[in-house]
Amino acid sequence: MDEVTLVKTRLQAGIWEGELYVPDTATDLPEIEVTYLDQPVQGHTLTEDPERDGVWFFRFVVPSEMINDGVQTFLMTERETGRVLNSLSMIAGEGLSEDIRAEMDLLRQELDLLKRAFRRHCVETGSH
């Protein structure tokens, strides 16, 4: 494993849980940011697994005030790089079968992340 990965283990009682795998080559533990509609969301924790090196338990409490009708997508990203590590899409309200709205919402948010990174890159390279 060459890069940091975040793997979902379960969603229970409004808490998203996963395992963060950090390669031996990493010098620092990455800072994970959870966002909803491009705004930071608080309520997540990261604790080291005492039995496995390089494995951390990540828990994210889904704020009840953010559960509404329609599609809600939460992104878990590496703060420094903006790389998406995982996501949670929730569909609430009317019963939906084989609905692509969650996937579209996730794609929109990832596209916004890419646009911001590209603009930042253009500014950085244009000033040199």
Mean pLDDT of 31-43: 92
Task: Select the more confidently predicted residue: 126 or 115.
Answer: 115
Domain that holds residue 106: 5-126
Which domain CATH number covers 22? Answer: 2.60.40
pLDDT value at residue 2: 76
Residue 80's contacts (CB-CB under 8 Å, 6 or more residues apart) are 30, 31
Domain count, the chain: 1
H or E element that contains 101: helix 101-126
Please report the pLDDT score of residue 28 as a whole number.
Answer: 84
- CB neighbour list of residue 122: distance below 8 Å, 6 or more residues apart: none
| Segment 73-92, tens digit of pLDDT | 999 999 988 899 999 999 88
65 in helix, strand or coil?
helix
